[in-house]
Chain A
Amino acid sequence: MSTAVMSAVAESAEQRAALRSARIRAVIFLLFTLASFSAASAAGAKEAIFSFWIDKIGGKDIILTFPIAVPWLISGAISGAIATLQFLRGASFRWRAAIGIAAPFYAVATVGALLDGTAANLTVLFTGTLNYAAPVAIGSLAGIISERSGVLNIAIEGKFLLGALAGAVASSLFGVAIAGPIAGLLIGAAVGLLLAVLGLRYKVDQIVAGTIINIGALGITNFLYLRVLQRYPDLNQPVNIDPVTIPVLSDIPVIGNIFFNLSPYFYVAVLLVGFFTYAIFKTRWGLRLRASGEQPSAAGTVGVDVIKLRYRSMILAGALAGFAGSYLALSGTGGFGMGISSGRGFIALAALIFGAWHPVYAFGAALIFGFADATQTLLSILGVGLPPQVLLAVPYVMTIIVVAGLIGRVRGPASAGRPYEQG
């Protein structure tokens, strides 16, 4: 047996595993195809009655009526195409990106099926999806930066809560809109620093430290809400950060209402995701960040100060998460309320795993999760369809499927959670 044959055998072990996942994915897409086609035939001639606001919310609307079978057939066809490509191209096929193409059609089909003929206006469904995704995507980004540097970050939830409270109070005190996000950012950075000191200086287990922050933040914010904000309601009268209307683009019929009339947080989220995707994968800072998270000794021995880099990343991550948290209290929710984050920090964590520690994919995951949330809101308002809890469970179920590695291995930073000691 020659050397070449031997190494071919060794390589194939890993390749086989990747190929197996690729085949499983192909089968899953195929099942989706079949399910879509059978849903199409079950829907028969039943019609979806969707409406969208044309120029402004609550103004004139446009009503689309079409058989529910149509989006099912389209999504079935796309899934079928993905399944075929997945079979043919194997592991090299970019299935995460492919999901992005199928997702809108599935969204329409699912909503149509769930509404089951009830007329509904969908503009709010889509804006709700996008607005929900904004803090979640920024929260994921915070997690990505921290974990890529090698520190586990499960305290996003706690930072959301503290950021929301600080944002509400600061905004009420100063009476200017910008005070809220800034306060969220600062408190988040402080919590990030605290986590860094616990994890990096005292080497507290990073899961334990994160859990302490989460539980502590819930307790502190509840306490302050009951004992301070309820007594002095003036402290919980923040200046809302209203959706901004982007000139020209927002005048596009239908689309303008959905994409160009959103909370500023959404546009900031898009900018941040773009900026940090570039920074993480294309810059010197990103190279060192990733090296510290994967193999800190490799970075340390070439003179990178791993501990300092991790401190900075934790503070940056904290600031981002706190900033995202301020959204929760400042977006027309009437200020801070107990447990206002309602698990969205954990959804952000799920999105970062689902998105394989990549900002853009995590943003995509946040959109899917946001859609599930917005749909359940719509259904419960209209009082039709599934019990809302089913849809709320979607992010968690999807995350479990991904973590189980069935559809492809997600590999996080190898050294995340491990303290680094030089020498």
Chain B
Amino acid sequence: MRLELREITKQFPGVLANDRVSIAVDKGEVLGLLGENGAGKTTLMNILSGLYRPDSGAILIDGTERVFRDPAEAIAAGIGMVHQHFMLVPVFDVIESVALGAEPTTGPLGTFDRATARKQIIELSERYGLAVDPDAKIENLPVGVRQRVEILKALYRKSDILVLDEPSAVLTPQETEELFEIIRGLAKAGTSVIFITHKLNEVLAVADRITVLRRGAVAGNTTPSKADASSLAEMMVGREVQLTVSRGASKPGKPILQVQAMNVLDGRGGVAVHEASFEVHAGEILAVAGVQGNGQTELVEALTGLRPIDSGSLILDGNHLEGGSPRHIADAGVAHIPEDRSRDGMIKGMTVAENYVLNAYHRPPFSTGGRLDLKAIAARATQAVKDFDVRTPSIDTDIASLSGGNQQKVIVAREFGRDVRLVVAAQPTRGLDVGSIEYIHHRIVEQRDAGAAVLIVSTELDEVLALGDRVAVMYEGRIVGILDAKDATRERVGLLMGGAVA
């Protein structure tokens, strides 16, 4: 089927999410839809899947205009979505998950016909090479397999158009390669595929044609043979972009952070971090790679005092910090850029200035005898906004109204606003635009060069490889390998991320 979106416009309060966007994909073709976070890709797909109605514009299938009032109508028209966050019920098995919403039934009560569903699913998984155990429970399946279940869901509904939204976000490079094979196979069998991503090398690898979105509008159309990574990046951002982080060689000093045989529990009766041991030296960046959910979150929480350490030691500058409160650890010189910016990094509803002093409001110069010195706070916040290039109408603006990049700059300004011995940065650039990413990277490297130890946790392999002087890989709660930058190739790190032996 040929799908065409013509002049789609969608306005949200304050944001023009899609501005007369037109894209098209032919039968058996793979369209790569490239754009930064906030470029309008997800809005466009939500319109296509019937979750949103466009303000204007038309959806055409094989030349006929169609209107989707809800997801059921989009599905009926042959559009299958694989969402970035999987839409699966953890306690269901594969059969139930795939059939949900399109269940075969028997009898007057609408009894779910498991046997029929099972047969159809096995048939599909064999035909398209999507190996899954139909009786396995979703919560017991690895992420890569869950994604196959999502694709099966779309195929089960006889989708002729498959839309994949950031499908590689949770995959190892090898799993991503397998996914590409599946996509090529589907296209060959006549399915039209829209592949949404912000990763340049992925569209180049798998797409037949590429449409680039920028700030809600189409910035250009091209093909992999006519484009390369830097031209795509320029089209996506609107200016020339440096794809690598410029930084000098590291000059590691004495160890600042020493972690020995650390165990951290996950709070659900399991062990999240298992016997982790590593050091981070002054003047070096240790980047922790791994697929999301392999214990990185808990590791960071343990290092910053947010989660108790079950056993093992946490030593900073020779002092034991196990059992220390977050404030105690922060006062020892640990700067923390948290993974979930809006939950742990700032307080929405409070101003930029108030958020800026969250880690120091309780002592001079910001307060004396329990009374806040608002003048001192304003003065320092104003300076910080200038130093860190935070684009805000004023320091009294609600931080929630800033863009993600500017929010992150306020957090970084706060954390770097005092003597830093160790930087713990978790996903420091998630969801940011390229300009902000460059800026944050630059500031982190600056801390390293000033002699701080830096630990970065990232699920983006590109970020890990660009920043890490050494690369540690976590898999199922363990640190399965620590490589020097020169040995840390995409392939080796990728294999470790999948649990292979170092």
User: Measured between alpha carbons, how far is A7 from B270 in the docked complex, in Å?
Assistant: 13
Residue of B nearest to A300 (CB): B71
Asked whether A164 is an interface residue with its Cβ less than 8 Å from the other chain, the reply is no
Contacts of A234 in B (CB 8 A): none
Check if B501 sits within 8 Å of A303, measured CB to CB: no
Asked whether A297 is an interface residue with its Cβ less than 8 Å from the other chain, the reply is yes
Check if A423 sits within 8 Å of B153, measured CB to CB: no
Check if A301 sits within 8 Å of B87, measured CB to CB: yes
Asked whether A298 is an interface residue with its Cβ less than 8 Å from the other chain, the reply is yes
Contacts of A304 in B (CB 8 A): 72, 100-101
Contacts of A282 in B (CB 8 A): 111-112
Contacts of B109 in A (CB 8 A): 278-279, 283
Contacts of B498 in A (CB 8 A): 3
Q: When the two chains form the complex, which single residue of B91, B270, B501 contacts A1, counting CB atoms closer than 8 Å?
A: B501
**Interface residue SS majority, chain B:** loop
Residue of A nearest to B110 (CB): A284
Check if A302 sits within 8 Å of B90, measured CB to CB: no
Report if A283-B501 is in contact (Cβ < 8 Å); known contacts: A6-B476, A291-B89: no
Contacts of B72 in A (CB 8 A): 303-305
Check if B269 sits within 8 Å of A17, measured CB to CB: yes
User: Measured between alpha carbons, how far is A294 from B140 in the docked complex, in Å?
Assistant: 16
Chain A 255-295: CB-based contact to B (< 8 A → 1; otherwise 0): 00000000000000000000000110011111110110011
User: Measured between alpha carbons, how far is A77 from B105 in the docked complex, in Å?
Assistant: 46
Check if A283 sits within 8 Å of B269, measured CB to CB: no
**Interface residue SS majority, chain A:** helix
User: Measured between alpha carbons, how far is A10 from B266 in the docked complex, in Å?
Assistant: 12
Contacts of A300 in B (CB 8 A): 71, 87
Contacts of B414 in A (CB 8 A): none
Q: When the two chains form the complex, which single residue of A10, A17, A286, A294 contacts B91, counting CB atoms closer than 8 Å?
A: A294
Check if A17 sits within 8 Å of B153, measured CB to CB: no
Contacts of A298 in B (CB 8 A): 87-89, 97, 100
Name the residue among A2, A17, A288, A302 with the largest chain B CB count within 10 angstroms.
Answer: A302
Q: When the two chains form the complex, which single residue of B83, B92, B270 contacts A301, counting CB atoms closer than 8 Å?
A: B83
Asked whether A299 is an interface residue with its Cβ less than 8 Å from the other chain, the reply is yes
Check if A6 sits within 8 Å of B81, measured CB to CB: no
Chain A 39-79: CB-based contact to B (< 8 A → 1; otherwise 0): 00000000000000000000000000000000000000000
* Chain B residues touching A, range: 35 or more
Contacts of A297 in B (CB 8 A): 85, 87
Contacts of A414 in B (CB 8 A): 90-91
Tally chain A residues at the interface, Cβ within 8 Å. 39
Contacts of B81 in A (CB 8 A): 301
Contacts of B89 in A (CB 8 A): 290-291, 294-295, 298-299
User: Measured between alpha carbons, how far is A11 from B269 in the docked complex, in Å?
Assistant: 11
Q: Which of A1-23 contact B (CB under 8 A)?
A: 1-3, 6-7, 9-11, 13-14, 16-17, 20
Asked whether B500 is an interface residue with its Cβ less than 8 Å from the other chain, the reply is yes
Residue of B nearest to A422 (CB): B51
Check if B480 sits within 8 Å of A302, measured CB to CB: no
Asked whether B52 is an interface residue with its Cβ less than 8 Å from the other chain, the reply is yes
Q: Which of A230-274 contact B (CB under 8 A)?
A: none
Task: Give, as a whole number of angstroms, the nearest-CB distance from A421 to chain B.
Answer: 10
Q: Which of B81-126 contact A (CB under 8 A)?
A: 81, 83, 85, 87-92, 96-97, 99-103, 105, 109-112
Chain B 357-379: CB-based contact to A (< 8 A → 1; otherwise 0): 00000000000000000000000
Residue of A nearest to B98 (CB): A302
User: Measured between alpha carbons, how far is A304 from B478 in the docked complex, in Å?
Assistant: 40
Task: Give, as a whole number of angstroms, the nearest-CB distance from A282 to chain B.
Answer: 6
User: Measured between alpha carbons, how far is A304 from B91 in the docked complex, in Å?
Assistant: 18
Report if A295-B90 is in contact (Cβ < 8 Å); known contacts: A2-B501, A303-B75, A422-B51: yes
User: Measured between alpha carbons, how far is A422 from B72 in the docked complex, in Å?
Assistant: 13
Report if A302-B111 is in contact (Cβ < 8 Å); known contacts: A9-B274, A10-B476: no
Asked whether B46 is an interface residue with its Cβ less than 8 Å from the other chain, the reply is yes
Check if A302 sits within 8 Å of B110, measured CB to CB: no
Report if A6-B478 is in contact (Cβ < 8 Å); known contacts: A17-B270, A294-B91, A423-B46: yes
Q: When the two chains form the complex, which single residue of A7, A13, A301 contacts B271, counting CB atoms closer than 8 Å?
A: A13
User: Measured between alpha carbons, how far is A298 from B81 in the docked complex, in Å?
Assistant: 11
Asked whether B477 is an interface residue with its Cβ less than 8 Å from the other chain, the reply is yes
Q: Which of A398-423 contact B (CB under 8 A)?
A: 411, 414, 422-423
Chain A 83-95: CB-based contact to B (< 8 A → 1; otherwise 0): 0000000000000
Residue of A nearest to B88 (CB): A298
Asked whether B78 is an interface residue with its Cβ less than 8 Å from the other chain, the reply is no
Q: Which of B253-282 contact A (CB under 8 A)?
A: 266, 268-271, 274
- Chain A interface residues toward B at CB < 8 A: 1-3, 6-7, 9-11, 13-14, 16-17, 20, 278-279, 282-288, 290-291, 294-295, 297-305, 411, 414, 422-423
19 contacts between A and B (CB under 8 A): A2-B501, A9-B476, A11-B140, A13-B266, A14-B269, A17-B269, A20-B269, A282-B111, A283-B110, A290-B89, A291-B100, A298-B88, A299-B89, A300-B87, A302-B75, A302-B102, A302-B157, A303-B70, A304-B101
Closest 8 CB pairs of A and B: A13-B270, A303-B72, A302-B101, A17-B269, A423-B51, A298-B87, A295-B89, A284-B110
8 new A-B contacts, CB < 8 A, other than A9-B274, A300-B87, are A3-B499, A7-B476, A16-B269, A17-B268, A282-B111, A287-B100, A290-B89, A291-B92
